[in-house]
Chains A and B, each alone.
Chain A
Amino acid sequence: MKFCTVKQYFDDENNNNVTNGIATTVIPLPNKHLKIKANNKEMEQYEQELLRNVMPQELTKLILAANYLNFKEALDFFCRTVANAIQNKSVDYVRKFFGLESDFEPGEEEKLCKEFAWSFEGVDED
């Protein structure tokens, strides 16, 4: 099933713009995933490798590709990887990462942050 979608993906004319980077990372995934599905430790190591070699923004490309390919396991895996990458980051970092802006009324955001001040402790520096 997964290989059919991959073939269709390449045949589809709309995908001419996809860079090689994605093709080389996502395509080998079905094999790797099948091989290491049973072994959590290896998945963790692969995740660490991914985080080291791939910039967080690149991960979003991988997510989109996995989403388009309807490759649920890869999508969940990349989402988990992104979650681990951002979990200790600041609010500003996360906004930049997802391309968001604050839409709170003035003072509203401050009030909220104060209420959960404890959740801001030990956050990574930007």
Chain B
Amino acid sequence: MRELRPQPPKLRRRNIYLPYDIVLNILTRLPVKSLMRFRCVSKSWNSSITSPDFISTHLNNSIDSRGDGYVIHMPCVRDICSSSINTKRPVCTVALDRTLDTISEVRIPFHFPFGCAQIVGSCNGLLCFATSAYCIYLWNPSIRIFKRLPNTCLGQLRFATLGFAYHSENNDYKVVRISRSPFSAPVSSHEIEVYTLSSDSWRSVGMTLTTDVLFYDKNYPLPIPLVNGALHWMSCIVEEENHRRRMIMAFDVNSEKFKRLALPDGSTDENIFQTFLSSFKGKLAFITWARSEQRGTQYSIWVMKEYGVVESWIKLFAVPFERVAHCTAFMEYGSLLVCYINDRVESQEFKFVLVDIETLHEKKDLDIQHHSYVATFMESLVLLDGANVVSY
């Protein structure tokens, strides 16, 4: 490859060569499909495009210039992905986040040997998929690369819940698995292990030192939210005199330690059917579904305005429903995807509606018509620099 040196504005007759740093400036603005192809231009281009620094810069560029946001969703119906007899692999759909209008369909490239696929989480265009906590995959659909995680380092997996996070301090990715002893066991205990992409291995971070934690809620069907560098699980702790209290357990991805966050005052009472944790515009959100004072039910959305400050919890939105409305997903920008069950018809019919939590405007006739896992999605080159990856 010819040497590219910074050229003064003196022009040559034929070709004008750009300094390499400007070439990289141009490359970081290209879509991933072009970049994958241009890896074949030369050795140094291949090396640059697959370097962690380039991947980060490219990601930051695309986040800055991105107009619409996207989501990827997958039906969480058992029928679609059970048994070895059915070799059909589940299909994911990429859609616009504001309208859920379908952009494209993507077939999952790996086979799940057991049970039903779950989207654990999504960070920077990298998706984490799992089934029954046994088989975990990291997958970047936009560059058609995936990787299966090694098996657990713990002895036996029991009732596990998973969280997927980007570790910003190290520009790394982690999967956190919390396994719990069965309810029948005399003492509740949890084992926590962390997978780190850069070391491609699991590491036990020990049992929770406090045995007062009864369980870590899976937050089904929403992913465990990553806010302020921590994964947040709803849990229940046992206090003196066997009194039980709900509490948020925040796992800091950098220090790998738990911190407890109290729920908003007055947010929990007997009328609550379900609770979820999510994120709203980068802040931790606590969502409750409860019987309403008026007819029907209501979703209340609390937001922790100042992270870690319990007094900063504020109930920002209340979304009332006359009919029963099951929450399927919560969109980061402020929409609830709910499912109405039409029980007037004999065969139960589901109708999915996207509700803006601020205006309460409902968008019907959605492209999505199954209970689904929904995660944010973007194009990126993340995972290109990983080991043992499979391209398809």
Contacts and interface: CB of A to CB of B under 8 A. Distances in A.
B8 A91 contact: no
B17 interface: yes
Residue of A86, A87, A88, A123 contacting most chain B CB atoms (<10 Å)? A87
Q: What's the dominant secondary structure at chain B's contact region?
A: loop
B29 A83 contact: yes
Contacts of A17: 9-11
Interface string A109-126: 100110110111001000
Contacts of A68: 8-9
A109 B2 contact: no
A123 B9 contact: no
A102 B9 contact: no
Given A18-B9, A63-B18, A103 B25 contact: no
Given A99-B17, A118-B144, A104 B9 contact: no
A123 B26 CA distance: 19
Contacts, number: 103
B42 A61 contact: no
Interface string B1-12: 110001111110
B30 interface: yes
A57 B18 CA distance: 11
Given A79-B29, A118-B144, A67 B22 contact: yes
A80 B22 CA distance: 11
B187 interface: no
Contact of B23 (A57, A64, A98, A120): A98
Contacts of B10: 14, 17-18
A76 interface: yes
B36 interface: yes
B43 A103 contact: yes
B63 to A, nearest CB: 15
Contacts of A57: 15-16
A112 B40 contact: yes
Given A100-B42, A112-B46, A63 B22 contact: yes
B33 interface: yes
15 contacts: A14-B9, A67-B6, A67-B19, A83-B26, A83-B30, A98-B17, A98-B18, A100-B41, A103-B42, A104-B43, A112-B40, A112-B46, A116-B36, A119-B33, A119-B34
Interface of B: 1-2, 6-11, 15-19, 22-23, 25-27, 29-31, 33-34, 36-46, 144, 391
Interface of A: 14-15, 17-19, 22, 57, 60-61, 63-65, 67-68, 75-76, 79-80, 82-83, 86-88, 91, 94-95, 98-104, 109, 112-113, 115-116, 118-120, 123
- CB-based closest 3 A-B pairs: A83-B29, A119-B36, A119-B37
